[in-house]
Structure 1
Amino acid sequence: MFGFIGVGQAGGSVADEAMKRGFHSVAINYSLSDLNSLVNVQDKLHLVGTEGVGKERSVAAKHMKNNWESSIEFIKNTMEKPSVQVIFVVFSAAGGTGSGVAPILLELLNECLTHKTIVAVPILPDSNEVLVNQMNSLELLEDLSMPETCVLPLDNQMVLSKYDGKISETRLYKETNKMFLDLIEVLLNYTDRGSKISTLDRKDLNQLFDTPGIMTIAQTDLNEFTNEGKYFDKLHDDIQKSWNNSIFTPVEFENVMRAGVILDVHEFLTEHISYNELFNVFDNKMPLDLFKGHYDKGNRAITILSGLTWINERMKQLDDLIETGNTEMKETTVYKARNRRREDLFKPKKLENKESKKTSYMEALKKLKR
Structure 2
Amino acid sequence: MITDVCVFALGGCGGNFGDEFAQRNFYSVAVNFSQSDLNSLHHVHDKLKLIGSEGLGHQRSEALELVSNHVEVLTSFIHKHCEHASVVIVPFSTGGGSGSGLSPLTLNLLSNMYPDKAIIAMPIIPHNEESTTALMNNQQVFEELSNIEGICIAPVDNQKAKSRDFAIGKAKIYNVTNKSIVDHFHALYSYTNESSKSGSFDKKDFINLFKQEGYCSIAEVIDVSYWLEKEKLILNPSNTKKLLRSVLNASMFAPIEYDSIGKAAIIIDTEDEDVVDNIDNSIFDDFANRPIDVFEGIYNNEQSNFLMVVLTGLSMCQTRLSEIDEVLEKRQQELENLPRTNTAFKSKFSSLSLPSNKPAQKKEKLSTQDILNMYKKR
For the criterion TM > 0.5, the same-fold answer is: yes
Greater alpha carbon shift after TM alignment, 86-95 vs 114-123? 114-123
Q: Identify which of structures 1 and 2 has the higher relative contact order when contacts are C-alpha pairs closer than 8 Å and 6+ apart.
A: 1
Please state how far the C-alpha of 1:225 moved relative to its aligned partner: 7.0
Correspondence list, 1:287-302, <5 A: 287-296=291-300, 297=302, 298-302=304-308
CA distance in 1, matches of 2:324, 2:59: 18
Secondary structure class of the residue paired with 1:197: coil
**Residue of structure 1 equivalent to 2:65:** 62
**Distance in 2 between residues matched to 1:59 and 1:226, nearest whole Å:** 50
Q: Tell me which of 279, 284, 289 is aligned to 1:279.
A: 284
Q: How many angstroms does 1:226 deviate by?
A: 8.1
**Residue identity matched to 2:35:** L
Q: Which amino acid aligns with 1:176?
A: T
Task: Please name the residue that 1:317 is paired with.
Answer: 323
Tell me, yes or no, if structure 1 residue 52 matches structure 2 residue 55.
yes
- The reply to whether residue 13 of structure 1 matches residue 10 of structure 2 is no
2 CA distance for matches of 1:213 and 1:244? 18
Deviations 1:301-356 (A, max 9, x none): 11000000111111111111111111222579xxxxxxxxxxxxxxxxxxxxxxxx
The CA RMSD over aligned residues, in Å, is 1.9
Equivalent position SS for 1:259:
strand
1:250 aligns with 2:268: no
Cα distance in 2 for residues equivalent to 1:160 and 1:196 = 42
Separation in structure 2 between the aligned mates of residue 43 and residue 301 of structure 1, nearest angstrom: 34
Q: CA deviation at 1:55?
A: 0.3
The match for 1:123 is: 124
Displacement of 1:142 in angstroms is 1.1
Q: CA deviation at 1:147?
A: 3.9
Conservation of the 8 A alpha-carbon contact between 1:226 and 1:269? no
Offset at 1:42? Answer: 4.1
Question: Does residue 130 of structure 2 align to residue 140 of structure 1?
Answer: no
The SS at the match of 2:250 is coil
Letter in 2 for 1:36: N
TM-score, length-scaled by structure 1: 0.84
% identity of equivalent residues:
35
Q: Pairwise mapping of residues 192-211 of structure 1 onto structure 2 (< 5 A)? A: 192-211=193-212
2:160 corresponds in structure 1 to 158
**Whole-angstrom distance in 1 between the partners of 2:227 and 2:76:** 52
Gaps of 5+ in 1: 333-370
Q: After alignment, is 218-227 or 149-158 more displaced?
A: 218-227
User: Aligned in 2, Cα 1:132/1:225: closer, same or farther, shift over 3 Å?
Assistant: closer
Deviation at 1:271, TM superposition (A): 1.6
My pick for the range that moved more, 62-71 or 220-229, is 220-229
**How much has 1:23 moved relative to structure 2?**
1.3
Secondary structure at 2:249's aligned position in 1? coil
Alpha carbons 1:109, 1:118 under 8 Å: kept: yes
* Distance in 2 separating the partners of 1:257 and 1:214: 9
Whether contact under 8 Å (1:147, 1:213) holds in the other structure is: no
1:4-43 equivalences in 2 (<5 Å) = 4-43=7-46
- The gaps in structure 2 that reach 5 residues or longer are 339-378
CA drift of 1:78 comes to 2.1
- Whole-Å separation in 1 of the counterparts to 2:167 and 2:179: 18
Q: Quick check: 232-241 or 170-179, which moved more?
A: 232-241
Aligned to 1:341: none
Q: Name the SS for the 2:8 alignment partner.
A: strand
SS for the counterpart of 1:328 is helix
User: Quick one: which amino acid aligns to residue 48 of structure 1?
Assistant: I
Asked if 1:224 corresponds to 2:229, the answer is no
| Aligned CA distance change for structure 1 residues 35 and 292 (closer, same or farther; 3 Å) | same
**1:223, 1:300 within 8 Å by CA — same for their partners in 2?**
no
CA contact 1:253–1:283 (8 Å) conserved in 2: yes
Measured after TM superposition, the shift of residue 119 of structure 1 is 0.7
